[in-house]
Amino acid sequence: MNKIIEVANLTKKYKGKTAVDALSFSVFEGEILGLLGPNGSGKSTTINCILSLLSIDEGKITIFGQEMKPSAYEIKKEIGVVFQDVAVFDELTVIDNIRYFCGLYIKDKKVREVYIEEAIQLVGLEEFKKYYPKQLSGGLLRRLNIACGISHKPKLIFFDEPTVAVDPQSRNNILDGMKTLNKNGATIIYTTHYMEEVEFLCHRVIILDKGKIIESGTIDELKSLSNIEEKISVEVNNLKKSIISDIAKWEQVESVDYENGILIVTYQKGKNNLAGLIHYFKENRIEYNKIFSERPTLNDVFLELTGKGLRD
């Protein structure tokens, strides 16, 4: 596959502290790459360096086979950026906002108007063309922000937490829109704090911590790194501490947690764990409501690798 981005030995320091430490990775044409990490891991700094919004101390960044620099305007016009903070003009309507941003790159009026309509349809703003930003809900405003960032049909798009604090309908619209953009040929770099979105969208994931890559791979490859073979959750009230301690002693059990009436048992290995737990409950006359088993999630892997939650 063709390399769209190549980052080699990228290093960035702030006041003597290293924010990004000799980072090297590639982004391939047509993929959606998830860039994950806890707060302070270096995600934003990495993206800003790639976009030449920050100077770098060491290393080299290549996009579309050319070195990326602040003056690389031919490269930049093929890039779309949708930051977490909404950046539109309050005095312009929805369609005029999109027209303005599209016009920065597309000079042909007929082509520009086609692109504008396609962007509006992609984010589902057909009924809101004449609305002003202050008249839009948070979800619709974020959709407008996306339309402005992708209206010129860029080959490479950066999305920085585009679904934060939006309603479910807008969230689904945004995720479906990203799938469509990718299907139509766009390569996407995606940061988020929602692991379920990563599993839904991303072909490959890079996990950063303290400015370094600690793991990378497909979703399945990352899940295979987990020490957890199975996780069983049970709704059970008033479970005695002696029962919890007893289960924790089982050879195949990795950990046992019990909080707010939910028992979670994680297993390192073993088959028929669910049947064994049900049999144990029956023998000890423990009544329970719902019980289900699942494989380790990407969030489980993330916690194991970094020792913290995605928002920590």
Q: Which two tokens stand for residue 289?
A: 């409501």
Q: Which two tokens stand for residue 141?
A: 């405003």
Q: How many CB atoms lie within 10 A of CB 36?
A: 26
Over residues 233-238, the mean pLDDT reads 94
Residue % of the chain over a pLDDT of 90: 80
CATH of 230-295, one of 3.30.70.100, 3.20.20.70, 3.40.50.300, 3.40.50.2300: 3.30.70.100
Q: What sign results for the dihedral spanned by CA atoms 189, 195, 198, 203?
A: positive
* Architecture of domain 3-223 in this structure: 3-Layer(aba) Sandwich (3.40)
Over residues 250-262, the mean pLDDT reads 93
* The predicted structure's pLDDT at residue 12: 96
Buried b (16+ CB within 10 A) or exposed e, 191-228: bbeebebbeebbebbbbbbebebebbeebeebbeebeb
* The predicted structure's pLDDT at residue 166: 87
Give per-residue pLDDT as tens, 57-85: 999 999 999 999 999 999 999 999 998 88
* The predicted structure's pLDDT at residue 140: 95
Give per-residue pLDDT as tens, 188-230: 999 988 889 999 999 999 999 999 999 999 999 998 888 788 8
Domain(s) labelled CATH 3.40.50.300 in the chain stretch across 3-223
Give per-residue pLDDT as tens, 155-193: 999 999 999 888 899 999 999 999 999 999 999 999 988
Question: How big is the chain, counted in residues?
Answer: 312
